[in-house]
Structure 1
Amino acid sequence: MKNIYHSIGLMSGTSLDGLDIALCQFENYTKNDSSLWNYEIIKTGFVEYNQSWKQKLQNAHLLSALELKKLEAEWTNFLVKEVNKFVLQSKESSKFNFSLKSNLDCISSHGHTIFHQPNSKKEKKQEIGFTFQMGNGAMLSAQTGFKVICDFRQTDVALGGQGAPLVPIGDQLLFSDYDFCLNLGGIANISFNKDSADKNNIDTRFAFDICPCNMVLNYLSNKLGFEYDKGGNLSKEGKVNKELLQKLNDLDFYKEDYPKSLGREWVEKFVFPLLELEKSTIKDLLHTCTYHSAFQIAESIKKIESESFSKSKKKVLVTGGGAYNDLLINYLQEFLPNINVEKGSKMLISYKEALIFAFLGILRLRGEINTLASVTGATKNSCGGSIYLAESEFSISSGL
């Protein structure tokens, strides 16, 4: 098995800002009988969704089956064009010193989540969990000429898991220097390693979705004619609505133990109706929801800390678009005075998820665990992802 890999990670998140593309190199090496990894982000790209795409993706869950399949083909065609453009630009880059055609191991695509309704731990009756990340892997492979890996969540959901979050295996193997990895995307989620003598033990990694973040803040910002609350400046002009804050903090989800995950459906059912009933200004709602996110994140970290045997000062790596929200970060630092809250580099803030999905694809190719039962609640760890071979890999026999 080789030790140097190259993968392109594609990420389209619930915040609907756009498509993240990251060409990454991964090196596997052995130290003290442990399999370890180094990574390098070689080249990145970002394609902002125009208003038309934002509307289509935001309303995709309302479409008929036929309309949804048509949209999937249209969106995959969009991916094909952007990946091919990215590859062409990479070939022309003077910094790019190897052949992509012969060295790219795979394209790893998260897809775009349309439905996410995994098994509910609260339901006594047996229910069938399901999840759907839109994106036609066969089409993407056929029209780019590269091996494609997608549908990373399906196996875990089939094993009774939440199918999310998937990033923690990357946090464990690529960012073990941090005690917590916090992602502030559409949903705020966290991963951490419980006290263990062996930090490389993947079974001690835990993670969960904490609360809505940019999904709600963007929703409110749109009402003021802005795509998002840049720097938290809109929120700063408002104030906390204590009654609304209490209603948000009282939501049942926050009383549940991890593993647990959130999706658009939950936000639309429980959060948006509370906001629509309020007569506060939009800026007050923004400030309240920003405060709420910071409070729930801090409470989760404090709870994890209380269960820890180690009393050394912990470090939190913060990535995702919410890392640029000054008000949110300031509240986090205020609520967590004994924790080092460190924002990642601009590259990591923007492309950490694309990096890790590129990594998940490599683990899938190697047949290694890329989804953790300790994180998702599945019956066992798994190696998830559907593989679509590049045409050059086909072995076609004329004899039937």
Structure 2
Amino acid sequence: MKKSYYSIGIMSGTSLDGLDIALCKFENDREKQNKTSLWKYEIINTQFVEYKPFWKEKLQNAHFLSALELKKLETEWTDFVAENVNNFVLQSKEFNFSNLDCISSHGHTIFHQPAQNKGELGFTLQVGNGAMLAAKTGCQVVCDFRQTDVALGGQGAPLVPIGDELLFADYDFCLNLGGIANISFNTFHQNKTSRIAFDICPCNMVLNFLSNQLGFAYDKGGKLAKQGKIDKKLLQKLNHLTFYSESYPKSLGREWVEQNIFPLLHLPQNIETVESQQKIKDFLHTLTYHSAFQIAESIKKTEGGLEKSIRKKRKVLVTGGGAYNDVLIHYLKELSPQVEILKGNSTLIAYKEALIFAFLGVLRLRKQTNTLATVTGAVKDSCGGTIYLAEPMTFSSS
């Protein structure tokens, strides 16, 4: 089995900001043991493709489309992804892409109703035509990572924890502040270590939605939230949502947010008034604090089950767009004084999910576990992902 692999990870998340593309190298190091990662990684090159309003609107409303319209959207979106991957390849002149092992695409989630949740049928759908992407890029593609786990009775999410365990073992917690805030950590019980992870609460999905009402794509640095104050009644309603008292494994999707969060936000009809704008800023501040509070509570609840540490404070690696929200990070540090909040470097913050999906593709090629039952609630671990073969890539800048 090969020791080194090159993979392009592609991520399109619930925050709908754009497409993350990351060319990564992974090297297996079986000599490392215990808390030191068994794999080394390198992010060689990256590119962020911001979604234009056209794509944001299309993807945000895709769940309302007919079957025919949804398939048309998938074809258009796959063509968009392939075009940007090919441009990315042509711009990365220092790397020989004949050495590329795979493109690993998360796709874009349209529906997520796993079997574990009451009243749900047990399915998940990420658009992205793997065969088409392979044909248009000339490289084998790994995609549809969630399907096998859902078929095994799991949540199909989160998938990142296997990467946290094998690439970032030096941290006690890995916290991702994306559209949804999720956390990953190892528990120690009866001399056995198990990886646990779950979605904590909505994060940028709701914060971006509220920022859009004020004409902004997102709340840069938390500046809009800073101008608001906590709405205590709203905060109380948010913190009493039943999801937060449920035990893991558990995951969140757009459907849950639309059914449970949005109805609590009574948006003003006339957004032009100063009073209306202030109300939305208050909502922003409240939801930002709410996210920090729920994250802090999750860390407190899980600390007792962690393996004993020689460090005075346990380390929390924070990545995702929310890492740049100063208000969110301030509250998180204030509410979690017992841990050390450490933000990754700018590349890792932006591309950690793309990095790990690139890694999931490598594990799939090696026929090794890339989805953990302790995380998703499935009946067993699995090796998820569909592989589409293609001829070696041949590119020309002419």
Amino acid at match of 2:19: L
Alignment pair present for 1:37 and 2:35: no
Of the three residues 131, 134, 142, the one matched with 1:149 is 142
Partner of 1:75: 77
Partner of 1:52: 54
Change (3 A) 1:248 1:32: closer
Alignment pair present for 1:11 and 2:11: yes
Alignment pair present for 1:237 and 2:227: yes
Change (3 A) 1:310 1:51: same
Distance in 2, matches of 1:181 and 1:309, equals 15
SS of 2:201's equivalent in the other structure is: strand
Change (3 A) 1:247 1:38: same
Mapping 1:336-351, distance limit 5 Å: 336-351=336-351
Report the CA distance between 1:36 and its aligned residue. 1.7
Partner of 2:66: 64
Report the CA distance between 1:195 and its aligned residue. 2.6
Of the three residues 242, 250, 254, the one matched with 1:260 is 250
Of the three residues 117, 130, 147, the one matched with 2:113 is 117
Report the CA distance between 1:32 and its aligned residue. 6.1
Report the CA distance between 1:30 and its aligned residue. 1.6
Change (3 A) 1:254 1:33: closer
Partner of 1:171: 164
Mapping 1:249-328, distance limit 5 Å: 249-276=239-266, 281-308=279-306, 310=308, 312=311, 313-328=313-328
Q: Once structures 1 and 2 are overlaid, which stretch shifts more, 168-177 or 35-44?
A: 35-44
TM-score, normalised on structure 1? 0.92
SS of 1:391's equivalent in the other structure is: coil
Report the CA distance between 1:277 and its aligned residue. 6.5
Partner of 2:129: 136
CA deviation digits over 1:292-345, x for unaligned, max 9?
000000000000013346264210000000000000000000001110000110
TM-score, normalised on structure 2? 0.92
SS of 1:23's equivalent in the other structure is: strand
Report the CA distance between 1:391 and its aligned residue. 3.0
Q: Once structures 1 and 2 are overlaid, which stretch shifts more, 205-214 or 301-310?
A: 301-310
Q: Once structures 1 and 2 are overlaid, which stretch shifts more, 273-282 or 329-338?
A: 273-282
Partner of 1:86: 88
Change (3 A) 1:121 1:19: closer
Report the CA distance between 1:120 and its aligned residue. 2.9
SS of 1:8's equivalent in the other structure is: strand
CA deviation digits over 1:267-303, x for unaligned, max 9?
0000001012688700000000000000000000000
Report the CA distance between 1:33 and its aligned residue. 7.6
SS of 2:92's equivalent in the other structure is: helix
Alignment pair present for 1:181 and 2:177: no
Contact 2:116–2:154 (Cα < 8 Å) also in 1: no
Mapping 1:375-394, distance limit 5 Å: 375-392=375-392
Partner of 1:396: none
Structure 2 unaligned regions, length at least 5: 269-275, 394-398
Report the CA distance between 1:242 and its aligned residue. 0.4
- Number of residue pairs the alignment of both structures matches: 381
Distance in 1, matches of 2:33 and 2:170, equals 19
Mapping 1:348-359, distance limit 5 Å: 348-359=348-359
Amino acid at match of 1:360: L
Amino acid at match of 2:22: A
Amino acid at match of 1:323: A
Distance in 2, matches of 1:248 and 1:81, equals 41
Report the CA distance between 1:217 and its aligned residue. 0.3
Alignment pair present for 1:107 and 2:103: yes
Report the CA distance between 1:392 and its aligned residue. 4.9
Distance in 1, matches of 2:114 and 2:77, equals 24
Report the CA distance between 1:244 and its aligned residue. 0.3
Amino acid at match of 1:40: E
Report the CA distance between 1:122 and its aligned residue. 4.2
Amino acid at match of 2:96: S
SS of 1:75's equivalent in the other structure is: helix
Amino acid at match of 1:105: D
Distance in 1, matches of 2:116 and 2:187, equals 24
Distance in 2, matches of 1:82 and 1:277, equals 37
Contact 2:187–2:307 (Cα < 8 Å) also in 1: no
SS of 1:371's equivalent in the other structure is: coil
Amino acid at match of 2:66: S
SS of 1:206's equivalent in the other structure is: strand
Distance in 1, matches of 2:104 and 2:387, equals 9
